[in-house]
Amino acid sequence: MAPKTRLSGVPQALLDPPISPLPMSILDRINLNPHLDTTLAQQLKQQVNWFIASGELQPGDLLPSVRQVANHFRINMNTVRNAYQKLEADGLVETRQGIGTRVLPYNPQRMAQLASSQPSYSVGVIIPSLANPFYFPFLQGVELVAHRTKTMLFVCVTYDDPGEVQRYYAQLASKNVEGILIASQDDSLFVPSDHHPVTLPLVTVDWPASTGYAVNLDLENAGYQATRHLLEHGHRQVGLISYAVELHNVRPVNAGYHRAMREAGIPSDPRWIAAVHGFNTTAGAEGARTLLALEHPPTAIFIISDPLAIGAMCAVQQAGLRIPQDVAIAGFNDLPQAASANPPLTTVAAPVYKMGLEAMKMLQSLIAGKHPIHRHVLLPTSLVIRQSCGDHNNLHLC
């Protein structure tokens, strides 16, 4: 190949590879401090790493040229070249002659392997929502263990966006957390396998499909207990209000409902199942109105979460019906609102606080290089009987 010839009168900046459009120039956001113990090359590498982990630099984005970075910061080109070489050695970028340095596709396993071996005394927690009160006791359990071990928590909220799970995982790994907890979300990208031996300790909670270290609730038994209790009160038309999406932590609850109905000899009727698009009171009210609009509405309803159940109770009462005389209702979780509902809600208690405790203990054990006795921990659920299903002393036992 013939050597490239410098064009006379053309500024060198025009000959360098162009910078891909970004929301804001990354050069203006990088801060290099020569007075720190960390070398300038390492500082540059770490900050570009963060832009990649946070998604601000996307796969295919072209980094500024070595010359552009050196001129911008007035540093030696070898310093910039060294930083780019480190990024390439980490598998984050690829440099091609005549093209430049481009960002490679995100690889969660690689991010985990790059985590520092130096203790950071920090742990990441990724949850789907802060609005759902289910996660409050879970975080309290996690925080108690973290406090005892003087561990800092980074809590990240994904708002049920799978892409955000990946982004937060990458960001937490780039910040050298010692381990990560993932709640109620798919962990399949991050669980170690023969082909991808992830090194960052990970524990998943409330996700029965997890093949890694996990702490889960006995979800099927929860659905079974609540539905059977309604059947024991003599109801034959028992409805179900459930989440519309077939998630791995929703499917077992629904399976428990169907098992109880099947054991009672009651054929499944899809009209008795209302699928809603949320876990809040508004969604619960919508589900109840759907069932009440049937020509022959259910006389009892099992609802897969307490916030949904409380919303359903409001809709039932607004329709001029009485609970439990006209419609009996049972929920799941035993959140504080359940006991103060009118009437108090019969529900299945989920030991969410203990789930947080056990998950954080398991993660700390993994961080310490130990192997927990049990890879999967299943916590039992228990029926809490109140007034929303009727007089418990007058049951028609199945």
* CATH match for 219-350 among 3.40.50.2300, 1.10.10.10, 3.40.228.10, 3.50.50.60: 3.40.50.2300
Q: What is the pLDDT of residue 13?
A: 41
Q: What is the pLDDT of residue 196?
A: 59
Q: Would you place residue 195 in the very low, low, confident or very high pLDDT band (cuts 50, 70, 90)? A: low
Distance, in Å, from the CA atom of 192 to the CA atom of 210, rounded to the nearest integer, reads 11
pLDDT of residue 115 exceeding 70 = no
Instruction: Tell me the average pLDDT across 298-317.
Output: 98
Whole-model pTM: value is: 0.78
For residue 259, which of 278, 240, 275 has the smallest C-alpha distance? Answer: 240
Give the pLDDT confidence of 232-279 residue by residue, as tens digits: 999 999 999 999 888 999 999 999 999 999 999 998 899 999 999 999
* CATH match for 111-216+354-379 among 3.40.250.10, 3.10.20.70, 1.20.1250.20, 3.40.50.2300: 3.40.50.2300
* Report for 49-53, 175-179, 354-358: range of highest mean pLDDT: 354-358
The full set of domain ranges for the chain reads: 16-105, 111-216+354-379, 219-350
The residues with which 8 forms a beta bridge, in sequence order, are: none
pLDDT of residue 347 exceeding 80 = yes
pLDDT of residue 176 exceeding 80 = yes
pLDDT of residue 154 exceeding 90 = yes
CB 300 within 8 A of CB 239: yes
In this structure, of 44-53, 97-106, 107-116, the range with the lowest mean pLDDT score is 107-116
pLDDT of residue 392 exceeding 80 = no
Q: From the DSSP assignment, how many helices (H) and strands (E) are in the chain? A: 14, 14
Q: What is the pLDDT of residue 10?
A: 40
Q: Would you place residue 363 in the very low, low, confident or very high pLDDT band (cuts 50, 70, 90)? A: very high
Distance, in Å, from the CA atom of 47 to the CA atom of 50, rounded to the nearest integer, reads 5
Q: What is the pLDDT of residue 91?
A: 86
* Three-state DSSP state, 234: coil
Give the pLDDT confidence of 10-22 residue by residue, as tens digits: 444 434 444 444 4
The residues with which 253 forms a beta bridge, in sequence order, are: none
* Three-state DSSP state, 332: strand
Hey, do 111-216+354-379 and 219-350 end up sharing a CATH topology, with the first three levels equal? yes
Cβ-based neighbours of 97, under 8 Å, separated by 6 or more: none
* Three-state DSSP state, 213: coil
Q: Would you place residue 393 in the very low, low, confident or very high pLDDT band (cuts 50, 70, 90)? A: low
Q: What is the pLDDT of residue 18?
A: 46
Domain 16-105 matching CATH 3.50.50.60: the answer reads no
For 282, the enclosing helix (H) or strand (E) is: helix 281-292
Q: Going edge to edge, which strands form the sheet with 122-127?
A: 152-157, 122-127, 180-183, 202-205, 214-217, 376-379
Burial of 37 (0-12, 13-18, 19+ CB in 10 A): exposed
Q: Would you place residue 108 in the very low, low, confident or very high pLDDT band (cuts 50, 70, 90)? A: low
β-pairing verdict for 300-303 and 328-333: parallel
At 334, list the tokens: 């035993």
Q: What is the pLDDT of residue 113?
A: 67
Q: What is the pLDDT of residue 45?
A: 87
Instruction: Tell me the average pLDDT across 106-111.
Output: 69
Give the pLDDT confidence of 256-268 residue by residue, as tens digits: 999 999 999 998 8
For residue 141, which of 360, 377, 379 has the smallest C-alpha distance? Answer: 360
Q: What is the pLDDT of residue 297?
A: 96
